[in-house]
């Protein structure tokens, strides 16, 4: 989401790099602080987290079965936000190294797909996608 905003706001190469670095810092912070945040939320709102069959739980199980951690990581920079994607990943696995590697790889992949054509070839990928699908 922030990647598309950085392109739309025409922040330049510095803004794009700051976007990527900020995303990586966010991934690291939420990966290591996410467990504490989940524990706090479970204590603060116990009724919300003790329900067995909620929409969110069903969706989590569906994503885990179909796509796994890689699918969540691929959707995080574009559709989900960094905090939501990392919390989702922490619910799938507790291996923080695996989460870090997959999320950082995903953010670098999407930055490459969206920023390189824009800055090297003056091709606005976002505008092109809007033109094709809009």
Kindly list the averaged pLDDT for each block of 10 residues, start to end, along the chain of length 134. 63 77 92 86 78 70 82 84 86 89 92 78 70 70
Domain layout of the chain by residue ranges: 2-133
Q: Which residue has the tokens 């699918």?
A: 71
The tokens describing 8, both together, are 């739309």
**pTM of the full predicted structure?**
0.74
CA neighbours closer than 13 Å in the CB half-sphere of residue 35 = 8
Q: In this predicted model, what pLDDT tens digit does every residue of 6-35 receive, in sequence order? A: 666 766 677 778 888 988 999 999 999 988
Residue bearing tokens 């291996």: 95
- How distant is the alpha carbon of residue 92 from its chain centre? 14
Assess contact for 96 and 37: CB atoms under 8 A.
Answer: no
Task: Assess contact for 111 and 76: CB atoms under 8 A.
Answer: no
């Amino acid at each position: 989401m922030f990647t598309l905003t950085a392109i739309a706001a025409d922040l330049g190469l510095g803004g794009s790099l700051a976007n990527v670095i900020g995303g990586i810092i966010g991934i690291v912070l939420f990966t290591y602080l996410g467990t504490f945040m989940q524990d706090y939320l479970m204590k603060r709102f116990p009724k919300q987290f003790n329900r067995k069959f909620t929409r969110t739980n069903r969706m989590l199980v569906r994503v885990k079965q179909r796509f796994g951690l890689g699918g969540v990581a691929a959707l995080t920079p574009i559709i989900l936000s960094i905090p939501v994607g990392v919390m989702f990943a922490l619910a799938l696995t507790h291996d923080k190294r695996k989460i870090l590697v997959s999320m950082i790889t995903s953010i670098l992949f999407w930055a490459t797909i969206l920023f390189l054509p824009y800055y090297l070839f003056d091709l606005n990928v976002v505008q092109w996608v809007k033109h094709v699908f809009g």
